[in-house]
Structure 1
Amino acid sequence: MAAVVLAGVAAAPVANAETLADALVAAYRNSNLLDQNRAVLRAADEDVAQALSSLRPVVQFTALGGWRKAELDTALGVITTEGLSSSLLVSAQLTLFDFGRNELGIAIAKESVLATRQALIDVEQQVLLAAVQAYVDVRRAEEVVSLQQANFRLLTEELGAAQDRFDVGEITRTDVAIAESRLAQSRAGLASAEGQLMVARESYKAAIGAYPGKLAGVPSAPKLPRTLAEAQSVALKTHPILLQAQHLVAIAERQVDFAKADLLPTIGAQASVSRDNDGLDEQTVGIELNQTLYAGGRLSSVYRQALAGKDRASAELQQTAVLIAQGVGVSWANLEISAASIEATTQQVEAARTAFVGVREEAAVGARTTLDVLDAEQELLDARNAQLEAIAQKYIAIYQVLSSLGLLTVDHLQLGIPTYDPEAYYDAVKNAPSTSPQGKKLDRILKKIGN
């Protein structure tokens, strides 16, 4: 796929100008949406730690204190005792065998982490695509303003020339009024273009984190697969939403196994040590077997529900693949449409320019009216605006294709900056430490990448 640059927009590089790469880096570093979803991923990491904790013993202590009064009937009569009482109990429980429930819980949590990582990659794509859109929109809006300014200056000259011709009796007052009307129309068009530039600047700030300064021309677009079939094949292997759906199927399959295991008993060990204020010590050690005999049909319903969830996840995976392929096809078609639009509008500009020059020359010898000249000039302006729009849309379409492939990422674009490491926090908490000695190291990692 041939690379394109914005005509007129991609002029010679400007010293100290902000490049598209700069904008993409800023968008990546400043995105609140990315920060939000990174926090979602860290929460999913903690699910692994919590699931792992189920394999370990639970140790608790209970301390009791209070006032006690007791009456005891004896042969000598009723003896009443009262006073303060206290006791301390330390207990421990450990699951010895549960037919794989805890292991399945860990596996489900790990698959959830992997699915959430893929969702984060898709959010990264959204952030970067919005940055490209914002950058190109500002550049295009600036060019439209420049065209409208040039048009306004030209119409001002046309009005002056019309007034001079009217003064010598070559044209009527109607011709002057037409020129005045077109100048007013141009002034309105310039105000509209300046307003659209303001809107584009606000969108740029929202997408990238700051208002644009002097923007450089867009660079050569990234390379794409040669054919639609090749592009769809890449997307079905790399798109994060499809990979996420695959992990969701794995989760659903393990949830079926978990629900099946929940129908079976569990074997656990427990031990306790206690002492009261009378000096009575007690120690117990035992093994317990728990089996639900009847739960009103709840466990069977949960199992059937898990089977339905597995079928839903499998169907959703197939539909996701269909939608991914469709998305590639749509973005590819949009790219081809914009390429055709560039060719057509380029021809339109050349024809309109030739017509404008010819009409103006004919008007100089009286063969054309002022209205003819103004109409030709307006057609040339419209053609130039259409050309700018087509070129901008093609450049954006290339990145939309890249996003539909799942490749619009900092790493694939080779922006050369440190990226968020999803494994850093996971490695710090995956073994479920009661405290995290890796926490300070993790903080340094997050600070280094600007989060």
Structure 2
Amino acid sequence: MFNSRRGGLLAAVCSAGLICGLAAGPAAAETLADAIALAYDSNPTLQAQRASQRALDENYVQARSGYRPSLTASASASYQEIRTPAAARGLSIDTNGDGVPDAAGSGIREANSGSAALSLNQPLYTGGRVAAAVSAAEADILTGRENLRRVETQVLGTVITAYVDTRRDQEALRIRQENVRVLERQLEESKARFDVGEITRTDVAQSESRLAAAVSLFQSSEAQLAISRANYVAAVGQSPGDLAPEPSLAALLPASVDQAFDTAQVDNAQIRAAQYTEQASKARVAGARAERMPTIGLTARLGYTGGASPLDTDLYSRNVTGGATFTLPLFSGGLTSSRVRQTIERNNVDRIGVETARRVVLQNLTQAWSQLTAARANIGSTNTQVRAARIAAEGTRQEQQVGLRTTLDVLNAEQELRSAELAQVSARHDEYVAAASVLAQMGHLQASYLTPNVAHYDPKANFGKLRITWGWVPWEEPIAIVDSVFTPKPVEKPAPRPAPAGQ
């Protein structure tokens, strides 16, 4: 599936790209929009779901075939041989049925025959059975489209998480690497001062201990970055290069959690799928009730019968039959009533499922909004923390030069600065992931919102091609109108679309 540019993914993750990613990158940095566009076109999970949706579209064609005529052809040929025992032949038995006893010496009789027929059936009224199947198929297709949106949201959420994870771990590795460099200089300085008798061996040992711990953390950061890069490859389809800062999602976020929930009730794919599922089961209730209704249809048959060998069409008889059929179920032993009750209860389950989905979305949206609020607060706190820690570290180093601070004080100040910088990076990462989670629960973590200038997959395009396809006949439309009089039709909701620029 992937081209040569995407090959060697594991090697790209685990090789020297870990360190090269911290050095000078290519002239054009890879953006989050680039990663989303690539995943949108090539992610196997998303591609498989689109194929599943196209397969689901065929249910509509199969259901509509109940309005269309069916034509069957049949042909048969037979050979018959009758052998009469010698004892029976002596009794002059009539073996050919012509009323004349056979000759005593005749004991074998052969015969053959052939037939061919064409049969045509055209439903005129199915009591709503086909209409219910068509409505259920349409509702199932609408449910499938929402499931496709849900999978798209999950894939794009994974891409965003992998992208910001990689950037976070790249920045963390840079901080760890800088920490190692600072501690190496501190150790060299400590050794030099120990040589001239300004500090003791204890100070040197403290510097060595902090450097060893820093190297260990640097190696752990390398491993974590390798993991994040592997996750990026799995989601996007290629190894990450020089990643540009992710764009702000503020323009897509609502002002309050109440606005977010109002939007989620309309646009969330999970809620919409549950609603369409309920509509499909309601149509199946109508289909079960339609089993009590009569059916009307037309039949026609053309048949030929004669000898098979030698073939002589002049000796074939022709049979032409045409008629209308009216079928009314009178008694099914309670089977139809049981099916009606069963479909009603299944519809009740699906109706309750809508409320279940709404509550789950409310819960997830509340959690995501709370995480977003906390992350935003943490960003402000960590910014202040980094500024203060940087001033404190610089001041401690200067005070150490005049004998007011010890080596341990300098080491502690450096450790606090690196911890503050790592907390700042994590806070920014958490804020972006939480913002993406809010958009996901709102139903707006879609390619149409994140990459509006890129061509997007339209599941309606395939369905439109199937509306009139092989097997369609013009008279099925009036038949469908009559058949669907008492059948509920699914109500399609407008697909979520980003507001035009400037609104």
Question: Cα gap change, 1:133/1:335 in structure 2, threshold over 3 Å: closer, same or farther?
Answer: same
Query: Residue 135 of structure 2 corresponds to which residue in structure 1?
Result: 107
Tell me how far apart the structure 2 counterparts of residues 75 and 176 of structure 1 sit (CA, whole Å).
Answer: 129
Contact 1:46 1:430 in 2 (8 A): no
Tell me how far apart the structure 1 counterparts of residues 325 and 128 of structure 2 sit (CA, whole Å).
Answer: 17
Query: Residue 160 of structure 1 corresponds to which residue in structure 2?
Result: 188
Tell me how far apart the structure 2 counterparts of residues 298 and 191 of structure 1 sit (CA, whole Å).
Answer: 70
Give the match's secondary structure for 1:54.
helix
1:197-236 matches, cutoff 5 A: 197-223=225-251, 224-236=253-265
How far apart are 1:309 and its partner, in Å? 1.1
Matched, 1:180 2:204: no
How far apart are 1:151 and its partner, in Å? 0.5
Tell me how far apart the structure 1 counterparts of residues 123 and 115 of structure 2 sit (CA, whole Å).
Answer: 27
Instruction: Show CA shifts across 1:312-331 (max 9, x none).
Output: 11111122122222222221
2:158 to 109, 130, 133: 130
Contact 1:121 1:240 in 2 (8 A): yes
Residue identity in the other structure for 1:38: R
Query: Residue 294 of structure 2 corresponds to which residue in structure 1?
Result: 265
Tell me how far apart the structure 2 counterparts of residues 253 and 13 of structure 1 sit (CA, whole Å).
Answer: 58
Matched, 1:145 2:193: no
Residue identity in the other structure for 2:373: E
Give the match's secondary structure for 2:352.
helix
Structure 1: state its 5+ residue gaps. Answer: 1-8, 436-451
Normalised to the residue count of structure 2, the TM-score between the two structures is 0.80
Matched, 1:64 2:84: no
Tell me how far apart the structure 1 counterparts of residues 28 and 471 of structure 2 sit (CA, whole Å).
Answer: 50
Contact 1:101 1:262 in 2 (8 A): yes
Query: Residue 337 of structure 1 corresponds to which residue in structure 2?
Result: 374
How far apart are 1:277 and its partner, in Å? 2.8
How far apart are 1:206 and its partner, in Å? 0.8
Tell me how far apart the structure 1 counterparts of residues 197 and 345 of structure 2 sit (CA, whole Å).
Answer: 88
Instruction: Show CA shifts across 1:258-279 (max 9, x none).
Output: 1111123323322211112341
Contact 1:328 1:404 in 2 (8 A): yes
Residue identity in the other structure for 1:84: N
Contact 2:42 2:237 in 1 (8 A): yes
How far apart are 1:351 and its partner, in Å? 2.5
Query: Residue 32 of structure 1 corresponds to which residue in structure 2?
Result: 44
Question: Cα gap change, 1:140/1:88 in structure 2, threshold over 3 Å: closer, same or farther?
Answer: same
How far apart are 1:292 and its partner, in Å? 4.1
How far apart are 1:431 and its partner, in Å? 2.8
How far apart are 1:207 and its partner, in Å? 0.9
Choose 358-367 or 49-58, whichever is displaced more: 358-367
Matched, 1:384 2:429: no
Normalised to the residue count of structure 1, the TM-score between the two structures is 0.89
How far apart are 1:422 and its partner, in Å? 1.2
Choose 52-61 or 172-181, whichever is displaced more: 172-181
Contact 1:89 1:272 in 2 (8 A): yes
Residue identity in the other structure for 1:382: S
Tell me how far apart the structure 2 counterparts of residues 361 and 129 of structure 1 sit (CA, whole Å).
Answer: 46
1:245 to 274, 283, 293: 274
Contact 2:33 2:451 in 1 (8 A): no
Please identify runs of 4+ aligned residues in structure 1 that moved more than 6 A: none
Contact 1:249 1:313 in 2 (8 A): yes
Tell me how far apart the structure 2 counterparts of residues 29 and 186 of structure 1 sit (CA, whole Å).
Answer: 41
Tell me how far apart the structure 2 counterparts of residues 74 and 234 of structure 1 sit (CA, whole Å).
Answer: 88
RMSD: 2.1
Give the match's secondary structure for 1:72.
coil
How far apart are 1:222 and its partner, in Å? 4.2
Contact 1:21 1:415 in 2 (8 A): no
Query: Residue 54 of structure 1 corresponds to which residue in structure 2?
Result: 66
Contact 2:203 2:408 in 1 (8 A): yes
Matched, 1:302 2:339: yes
Contact 1:53 1:432 in 2 (8 A): no
Tell me how far apart the structure 1 counterparts of residues 390 and 347 of structure 2 sit (CA, whole Å).
Answer: 63
Residue identity in the other structure for 1:383: A
Give the match's secondary structure for 1:66.
strand
Tell me how far apart the structure 2 counterparts of residues 49 and 171 of structure 1 sit (CA, whole Å).
Answer: 87
Instruction: Show CA shifts across 1:378-403 (max 9, x none).
Output: 11111110110001111222222111
Contact 2:81 2:110 in 1 (8 A): yes
Tell me how far apart the structure 2 counterparts of residues 349 and 267 of structure 1 sit (CA, whole Å).
Answer: 81
Tell me how far apart the structure 2 counterparts of residues 15 and 219 of structure 1 sit (CA, whole Å).
Answer: 19
Matched, 1:75 2:75: no
Choose 138-147 or 89-98, whichever is displaced more: 89-98
Contact 2:295 2:326 in 1 (8 A): yes
How far apart are 1:81 and its partner, in Å? 4.2
Contact 1:13 1:217 in 2 (8 A): no
Query: Residue 197 of structure 2 corresponds to which residue in structure 1?
Result: 169
Choose 74-83 or 276-285, whichever is displaced more: 74-83
Query: Residue 399 of structure 2 corresponds to which residue in structure 1?
Result: 362
1:188-203 matches, cutoff 5 A: 188-203=216-231
Tell me how far apart the structure 1 counterparts of residues 194 and 340 of structure 2 sit (CA, whole Å).
Answer: 91
How far apart are 1:133 and its partner, in Å? 1.1
Residue identity in the other structure for 1:394: E
Choose 155-164 or 344-353, whichever is displaced more: 344-353
How far apart are 1:66 and its partner, in Å? 2.9
Tell me how far apart the structure 1 counterparts of residues 469 and 281 of structure 2 sit (CA, whole Å).
Answer: 24
Residue identity in the other structure for 1:77: P
